[in-house]
Amino acid sequence: MRKFKKWLEHLLKHNTFIQTLYRVIMSAVFKFIGLFIRTDENLVLMNGHGFRYNDSPRAIYEKMAELGMLSRYRVVWALREAEKYEIEGAEKIEIDTPKYFLTALRAKYWISCVNIERALHFKKKNTIYLNTWHGASLNHVGNAVSKRNDFHYEHVNFFCINGEYERDFVIRDFNLLPESLLTSGYPRNDALYEADEQKTREFREALGIPEGKRVMLYAPTWRDSTDGGASHKLAPPIDWQRWKSELGDEWVVLLRTHPYTTKLMNVQFDDFVINCTDYPRINDLMIASDLLISDYSSTILDYSILEKPIICFGYDFEEYSAQRGFYFDMETVMPGGVVRNEDALLSRIKTIDWESERAEAKKLKDEHMEYGGNATLLCIDAVFGTDYSKK
């Protein structure tokens, strides 16, 4: 059943005719059902990235708990393999089940960093929908992606952005109304603005990193499936034994793959390369590290908040650019441009100019991450009509 769902999701994403047929028929079905379901004024439906307990909805939920809001609001989390999660104070349901869609029709509030309606249109007028989204984009997103035409967010009440650079293309590529944009930054990134040396030490100790070692976080984005959605493989051209030989005395690598990646090739984990893909909070990994290596992931812009060195390792840059496309000239925007091969990458790591690289990261932050630091409270105020952000 899980393989069938993956195949169906892949088909819906990549076949415009099937997308349209599915959206029209199923939207009509759920709108009709919704006529007979009364809205629960205190019910909140949430989901995270990859349908895990994570990202900005988690930050919002935990702040709601801290503020005592759970005594008034009943929160339901929609998850994949919901039985694996313990979420104090919340109910859990499996995503894409009849119970999920009935809950969506009943809930007064929707909070998501991906989507609630699953490419459909059945939101009631009195439902308040916050979409925080899950990444400040370098590459094309929404309907700008080839063969995608399923983003119709005119009904979203609030959509978070990090800077004015995003405004025009998110309105266009998500079909958003300009008045829905919330200039808040992402709630998940508030913790990055609060990072300090003590937190760095705490997270390194929790990860078991020896004192005196430098830490690099390698966090590549996902690549689209080549087998009809059965898997999303990632095989960076990296000789990890060479890395260990040349860098192992000084460095430790935290390897974090994208939630959609299902198979990671060419790596054997040990005390030099640590598997952090299932570590629950990527913020901890960013704060614990001295250097980020990524490719086209939005993690690059998140990480710039810390004003620490960033290397863009685009080993498939030309191919990825042709297939997906970017909103910027990556060679100009990325600190130091795009590194194409392993030799150049290792040379950059071994000869890093820390002061210059930090300055480049700050420049990236200043140009793209204008808003942030108080996003969680701003989102809570917008959705629930409170004034917590002003206190």
% the chain with pLDDT above 90: 81
Q: What is the pLDDT of residue 12?
A: 61
Q: What is the pLDDT of residue 228?
A: 43
Which part of the chain has CATH 3.40.50.11820? 2-190+373-390
pLDDT (mean) for 324-345: 96
pLDDT (mean) for 208-231: 73
Q: How confident is the model at residue 262 (pLDDT cuts 50, 70, 90)?
A: very low
Q: For 40-94, what is each residue's pLDDT tens digit?
A: 999 999 999 989 999 999 999 999 999 999 999 999 999 999 999 999 999 999 9
In the beta sheet, which residues pair with residue 60? none
pLDDT (mean) for 251-263: 72
Residue keyed to tokens 């790596």: 267
pLDDT (mean) for 122-134: 97
pLDDT (mean) for 115-135: 95
The per-residue b/e assignment along 60-85, b for 16 or more CB within 10 angstroms, e otherwise, is: bbebbbeeebbeebebbbbbbebeee
Indicate the average pLDDT of the chain. 91
Which part of the chain has CATH 3.40.50.12580? 195-368
In order, the DSSP letters of 104-120 are HHHEEEEEESS-SSTT-
Q: Is the pLDDT of residue 238 over 70?
A: yes
Q: How confident is the model at residue 234 (pLDDT cuts 50, 70, 90)?
A: low
Q: Token pair of 362, please?
A: 């700050």
Q: What is the pLDDT of residue 9?
A: 65
CATH topology of domain 2-190+373-390: Rossmann fold (3.40.50)
We find that the CATH architecture of domain 195-368 is 3-Layer(aba) Sandwich (3.40)
Q: Is the pLDDT of residue 259 over 60?
A: no
Q: Is the pLDDT of residue 292 over 90?
A: yes
- CA R_g for the chain: 21
